Structure 1
Amino acid sequence: MAADGVWKLVLQTPMGPQEALLTVNAASATAFQGTMAGASGEQAFEGAVDGDTLAWQTDITTPMPLTLEFSVTVDGDAMTGEVKLGMFGAAPVTGTRA
């Protein structure tokens, strides 16, 4: 999968920009495993691949319990998309290959 590797993400949240380090490892042509590390700690997850789009969700507890639902499109060494922030709506996400 072209998205395999480590990515530096920036989430443009209502609390300001939040940075995270995303690691992506292909499990198959339609699935991947990963970890995301940031201010809320590190979470492991499994996600889905649809062409050049990755989708996954992860639960955080800081600053409050919340499920984050990501959908990003990979284009070379860049990714763009959005993250649903539960009751707080959605926020843009950008990423570059680390």
Structure 2
Amino acid sequence: MSVEGIWDLSVSTPIGTIKAVVELRRRNGALTGTAHGAGEAVPLGDLVLDGDRLSWKQAVTKPMRLNLAFAVTVHGDTLSGTSKAGRLPASKVTGERRLAPTASATGA
């Protein structure tokens, strides 16, 4: 299953819903990624795809400094799972892959 692409994520946290964008690419056969949100871009670490299960770690500084661990299941162009920050309770994560514009949508 291909997970490459741009994903729009919603993370339901105790302080509200946080929107983020994750870009996943293959480089030299390895899956790499970057997360964008709250005005910062951070690389994804420990990125693992096992069947339809995808996990990664990332550090953020906004809205507060946290080390996050994501574990999601990919279902075609959607994903769902959790994000965990240390001893805090897990937060629900949902996401949708951005679809490439079609020729009819671009007027071509």
TM-score by length of 2: 0.82
The whole-number CA distance in structure 2 between the counterparts of 1:40 and 1:86 is: 22
The whole-number CA distance in structure 2 between the counterparts of 1:19 and 1:11 is: 6
Are the aligned partners of 1:40 and 1:61 in contact in 2 as well (CA < 8 Å)? no
The whole-number CA distance in structure 2 between the counterparts of 1:57 and 1:34 is: 10
The whole-number CA distance in structure 1 between the counterparts of 2:39 and 2:89 is: 19
Q: RMSD of the TM alignment (CA)?
A: 1.5
C-alpha displacement of 1:26: 3.0
Runs of 4+ in 1 over 6 A off after TM superposition: none
Instruction: Provide closer, same or farther for how the CA distance between residues 53 and 77 of structure 1 changes in structure 2, counting only shifts above 3 A.
Output: same
The whole-number CA distance in structure 2 between the counterparts of 1:40 and 1:11 is: 16
The whole-number CA distance in structure 2 between the counterparts of 1:49 and 1:77 is: 15
**Rg larger in 1 or in 2?**
2
C-alpha displacement of 1:62: 1.7
TM-score by length of 1: 0.89
Task: State the aligned residue count.
Answer: 96
Q: Which amino acid aligns with 1:8?
A: D
Q: Deviations over 1:6-32 (max 9, x none)?
A: 00000001110000011011354xx52
